[in-house]
Amino acid sequence: MTPARPADGIAWITGASAGIGRAVVLRLLQDGWTVAVTARRADELHAMAAEHPGRIIAAPGDVTDAGQMRAAVATAQAQAGRPIALAILNAGTYVPMSAEHFDAAAFKLQVDVNLGGTANALAAVMPGLIARRRGQLAIVASVAGYRGLPTALAYAATKAALIAMTESLKFDLDRFGVLTHIINPGFVRTPLTGKNTFPMPFIIEADDAARRIVRGLGSTRFEIAFPGRFVFILKLLRILPYRLFFPLVGRGTKTG
């Protein structure tokens, strides 16, 4: 399997109107891609398309609606006259949450968007990739999915689920020639991380995250994770026994 190229078709990105998604769109344009962009904010998408006529296709839709995801994929491919060769499923949301402020509705929202929304996008785009027996699929999770962390009750749970789901998908998609990636960013300066009131070590800008993602998509490695030092620390925490993990993270985050 080899990474997809602009000659193979178009790219499709969900969660494309802001943050990492928007930055990745602009980076892919520099590399010669035609990009279909999906998000709920249709006005933002049409403005992006107007700034790059013929290069960006606005395909609005809410990822929590399976029918809208099918329509977005159909719109993108019909307007381009070519198939989706690279799909980046990036839509997600984050609501900080702790035990004393547990909110079942906010928990469900994150499950519906982060996990269910990704499933809806997969159901829309994956059959075409499998039928063509080629293409590239990337799912954006987070290093927060490596282990449970303070204030991330729902977010970490959904990101851990996305990591496990993508690992499972790879076994099947390898047989169909579809290159699969999981993207696990650390802290990236976006409207979502702007909600945080705690220190965010090794935080990077969205443009830097997009550069790292697109560079990773040019390889065949399964995981695209960054920044390296933060990833190393969290992967080390992942293998620690609970008797060390809880006191260490509690002290480090001033929650224990």
Q: How far from chain centre, in Å, is Cα 130?
A: 20
SS3 56: strand
State the Cα–Cα distance between residues 80 and 13, nearest whole angstrom: 14
Burial class of residue 195 in the structure, from the number of CB atoms within 10 Å of its CB (0-12 exposed, 13-18 middle, 19+ buried): exposed
Q: CB of 186 within 8 A of CB of 227? A: yes
SS3 labels along 67-106: HHHHHHHHHHHHHHCCCEEEEEECCCCCCCECHHHCCHHH
Spatial CA neighbour of 45 closest among 73, 22, 28: 22
Question: Tokens 């329509």 label which residue?
Answer: 71
242 catalytic per annotation: no
Of 94, 146, 155, 242, which residue is the catalytic one?
A: 155
For 70, half-sphere exposure in the C-beta direction (CA atoms, 13 angstrom radius) is 5
State the Cα–Cα distance between residues 79 and 22, nearest whole angstrom: 20
Spatial CB neighbours of 115, under 8 Å, sequence gap ≥ 6: 158, 161, 162, 165
Question: Tokens 């060769």 label which residue?
Answer: 85
Q: CB of 170 within 8 A of CB of 179? A: no
Indicate which residues carry an active-site annotation.
Answer: 155
